[in-house]
Structure 1
């Protein structure tokens, strides 16, 4: 992850773009049009009666990342483990935090960061930078004395899952410590290039450019190519048959490419809304308890 490459694309809003998008794509080669960060604070954990700490991390290339640490609601040192949450491509952690605020009550610590350019994090977003940021957060997390001796899980949602797969694969193949206890993917695309081609191909103005522009995306982080390398870490893939942003076949393809141990949870909610259903929360808790 040492080199830097042009910015990536990922958004369902491709259909709403005009000729300006075509010009931007041709000039930048799938660069800055697929991250949708903002700096609005939508909600903070204290508004949900949760304890939390603001965390600020410095990256090796000079950016500062902001994150939240949510401790488990159990006596000190009694946490069941820690979940490292990587969020989707829009807004920032304050709009995604409800996906994990139910975990502290269940005995799990939660740590989540904003990638560069999101929320209170500095810089501008791009795929290589976001991968560096995800690894920076994980290394900070596992260095905490109260974390390293308990199970650690990565939970990536949508774009966050696309970042989580190469991170978990490299972590496993380098035999980093502590060993990851599980990877959870929710509504994740099967590859950066594949989702780019689908989004570009869905709009007549960008349809002719779907193949050549997708070639500008780095190929070394494609989920289908990297997910098998996560073994022996257990993988849980969650995908909804009603996902209108990342079609269901992406989850199926990732599951087929993953090695055992693996589990597939077919859901029936809109994109990013998995945990409005209590039964889906319970399925994730069972997975973590077994891992």
Structure 2
């Protein structure tokens, strides 16, 4: 298990900017300048030029994937398609029963596809250690999305722009002859969780499941917690990412795993708990006698990690076991809804 966990040193480049950015989100409320502070794509230095790690540096095969958005922006992403040869070439790769009896194409289509939406700091290359866990341990196809204005992708980031980017990534998968046959799982950290929720709310029949870590109910609602003195000016935040209003649009049959760091110093744990309450209510039906839950519809799980901060929840004991179990159980049709504290 230890071999799958990303080291804090390796992961630091991608997470350092999150702390620097959210701690200054109040300054971002200056209406015309907030995009530059909410989306610090050039920090740490080099994140838009030479410091864009590639999967091959981690001994992972991959394809450079260029996606053209509907508004003409080129996104330069990474695609890691599965291969049954991994069991023979990577000692860390988990064997899949029956893989030797399948062709390469059949094996790709038999595995889930994870779409990774990262936090607001650094670039997608800084999250390769996380992709490695999905790729080798869970044997998933992995699409690492590079938002506009991040990494080597063109353009400038914004809420509308990232929404287009996410839709472009999903459209690529659903139009691909192989990935379109796979269950599509969205994995979002921090603002990437908001991107995931938004995408799933607009494509309810195309998403098999969501995994959300340390995300928020909305950006304006985060301001009073992060910077209490600027709370009265939160209305100036035009980058909304209003996840709380979008979760009800995701079907109650769509499994959701929520992973919350109780010690998160940037996004208070109350945000994840509030989102969990909305997630848990997806199966509500109104009756003459009040409210009752539609039995058998809710498939969600909420987990808290007592020592998890905003940037290190993903290395807490039990995190990846929970993710791996969730991915493995997606084929289970039995309803599951529980709350766990670690």
Give the alignment's TM-score, normalised by structure 1.
0.83
Partner residue in 2 for 1:185: 212
Partner residue in 2 for 1:249: 270
Give 3-state SS (helix, strand or coil) of 2:150's partner: coil
Contact 2:214 2:260 in 1 (8 A): yes
User: Which residue, out of 34, 41, 49, partners 1:37?
Assistant: 41
The superposition leaves residues 242-275 of structure 1 with CA deviations (integer Å, 9 ceiling, x where unpaired) of 2222221111111111032110121233323334
Partner residue in 2 for 1:46: 56
Partner residue in 2 for 1:229: 249
Partner residue in 2 for 1:96: 127
Per the alignment, do residues 241 and 143 of structure 1 end up closer, same or farther by CA in structure 2, a change over 3 Å counting? Answer: same
Give 3-state SS (helix, strand or coil) of 1:90's partner: coil
Give the alignment's TM-score, normalised by structure 2.
0.71
Count of residues in correspondence between the two structures: 267
User: Which residue, out of 313, 323, 338, partners 1:274?
Assistant: 313
Once residues 141 and 41 of structure 1 are traced to their aligned partners in structure 2, the CA distance between those partners, rounded to angstroms, is 27
Partner residue in 1 for 2:299: 261
Give 3-state SS (helix, strand or coil) of 2:70's partner: coil
Consecutive aligned runs of 4 or more in structure 1 exceeding 4 Å deviation:
14-18
Per the alignment, do residues 244 and 27 of structure 1 end up closer, same or farther by CA in structure 2, a change over 3 Å counting? Answer: closer
Question: Does 1:70 pair with 2:80?
Answer: yes
Q: How large is the RMSD of aligned CA atoms in angstroms?
A: 2.4
Compute the displacement of 1:200 (Å).
Answer: 3.5
Once residues 128 and 216 of structure 2 are traced to their aligned partners in structure 1, the CA distance between those partners, rounded to angstroms, is 21
The superposition leaves residues 40-98 of structure 1 with CA deviations (integer Å, 9 ceiling, x where unpaired) of 42522111110011111111112111100112243523242110000000011111222
When Rg is computed on C-alpha atoms for both structures, the one with the higher figure is 2
Structure 1: gaps of 5 or more residues: 1-9, 202-206
Give 3-state SS (helix, strand or coil) of 2:79's partner: strand
Structure 2: gaps of 5 or more residues: 1-16, 43-47, 86-103, 283-297, 331-342
